[in-house]
Amino acid sequence: GQSLEQPSEVTAVEGAIVQINCTYQTSGFYGLSWYQQHDGGAPTFLSYNGLDGLEETGRFSSFLSRSDSYGYLLLQELQMKDSASYFCAVRDPGSNYQLIWGAGTKLIIKP
């Protein structure tokens, strides 16, 4: 089976940089995805890493190291609107490659 671990909560200051880590244990690996969810809202897709390295999309970047079974989401120039929960997810070959989700990291941003 698959399991993912990410911190339950991270606090940062507006304008700063924050990194949210995700480690996974999988029987096979088919990429790491990141989603954002505001309180009371729906998850929205942020990024996907299928290969090692850094993927950049504006203020957000995502990194993957398959040899370490580890990835992170990097948020730069934090804004108050970035306050949300962030989920990592991997595809599970044992379940027809459906997404298995981490428990989420709540990002709290202080002025």
Partner 1 sequence: NAGVTQTPKFQVLKTGQSMTLQCAQDMNHNSMYWYRQDPGMGLRLIYYSASEGTTDKGEVPNGYNVSRLNKREFSLRLESAAPSQTSVYFCASSISEGNTEAFFGQGTRLTVV
Q: What are phi and psi of 6, to 5 degrees?
A: -145, 155
Binding mask 48-67 for partner 1 (x = CB under 8 A): x-------------------
Task: Between 22 and 78, name the residue whose CB sits nearer to partner 1.
Answer: 22
93 binds partner 1 (CB under 8 A): no
CA dihedral 68, 37, 62, 12 (to 10 degrees): -90
Residue 69, SS3 per DSSP:
coil
* Minimal distance, residue 57 CB to partner 1, in Å: 12
Q: Which of 22, 36, 62, 102 binds partner 1 (CB under 8 A)?
A: 102
**Alpha-carbon separation of residue 108 from 14, 20, 27, 43, 111 (angstroms):** 10, 12, 33, 17, 10
Q: Which of 7, 21, 23, 31 binds partner 1 (CB under 8 A)?
A: 31
